[in-house]
Amino acid sequence: MGEFETGRLIYLVVLLAMVGGWFFMQTREGLGKTLQHAAIWGMIFVGGAAAVGLWQDITYQTGRGQIAVNSAGQIVVPRNADGHYYLAAEVNGATIRFVVDTGATDLVLSQEDAARAGLDPETLIYSGRANTANGMVRTAFVKLDQVRLGNAEDRDVRAVVNQGEMDGSLLGMGYLQRWGRIEITGGELILTR
């Protein structure tokens, strides 16, 4: 189960416990008013914690990977609050969230994203090496059948799968060089073919 699915499951369990606790408190006879009020305040606290967690999850999902295609056919990516540019591209039919990384040589897939794109990370040959912020990692060279970003589609895209731990995939220069112009202005990354 992925980290997003686990988080949602926890939130749903907390919400279910809150509703179940309220139902139990309303149907239970013989509890003193003090105990009822304490339980209600406890449920309000738990509900507030769940709401904060859900809000963080919602803003994480909506703030990442949002792109627009303007009338000139350019891809426009807004800068995220953390200062990075995130976008979602379709890789072999699967939607993958990338961080745009001009310091990365290649399009780099995490093992999880590679599996979502139809590659089997267990059978890849990790013969390459990459020097990352986390140290040296092994990489496997792959060819992606299709990468679609907005209206642009590329075939036989060279990429690497990182054998190390990654929070997400990187859209590096190996893919970005396919665009005629890369511009950052006014808090937006603009890609032009």
Which CATH number characterizes residue 161's domain?
2.40.70.10
Asked whether residue 118 falls in the same domain as residue 164, the answer is: yes
The domain boundary, picked from 25, 47, 62, lies at: 62
Report angle CA 89, 166, 51 to the nearest 5 degrees: 80
Asked whether residue 46 falls in the same domain as residue 73, the answer is: no
Q: How confident is the model at residue 92 (pLDDT cuts 50, 70, 90)?
A: very high
> pTM to 2 decimals?
0.65
The domain boundary, picked from 45, 62, 79, lies at: 62
Which of these, 69, 111, 106, 70, lies nearest to 87 by C-alpha position? 69
Q: Round the average pLDDT of the chain to a whole number and report it.
A: 84
Q: Which of 54-58, 131-135, 144-148 has the highest mean pLDDT?
A: 144-148
Asked whether residue 57 falls in the same domain as residue 96, the answer is: no
Comparing 36 with 142, which gets the higher pLDDT?
142
22 is in which domain, residue-wise? Answer: 3-62
| Number of domains comprising the chain | 2
- Report, as an integer, the average pLDDT of 101-129: 94
Asked whether residue 94 falls in the same domain as residue 112, the answer is: yes
Q: How confident is the model at residue 64 (pLDDT cuts 50, 70, 90)?
A: very low
Asked whether residue 52 falls in the same domain as residue 116, the answer is: no
* pLDDT score of 29: 60
* pLDDT score of 12: 84
Cβ count near 115 (within 10 Å): 15
Q: How do beta strands 94-100 and 169-171 pair?
A: parallel
* pLDDT score of 63: 47
Asked whether residue 46 falls in the same domain as residue 114, the answer is: no
Comparing 109 with 18, which gets the higher pLDDT?
109
* pLDDT score of 60: 46
The domain boundary, picked from 44, 62, 80, lies at: 62
Q: How confident is the model at residue 167 (pLDDT cuts 50, 70, 90)?
A: confident
* pLDDT score of 36: 72
What is the C-alpha to C-alpha distance for residues 76 and 66, in angstroms, rounded to an integer? Answer: 9
Asked whether residue 95 falls in the same domain as residue 162, the answer is: yes
Asked whether residue 57 falls in the same domain as residue 88, the answer is: no
Q: Which residue has the tokens 């039919």?
A: 93
Displacement of CA 28 from its chain's centroid (Å): 44
Asked whether residue 53 falls in the same domain as residue 89, the answer is: no
Asked whether residue 81 falls in the same domain as residue 147, the answer is: yes
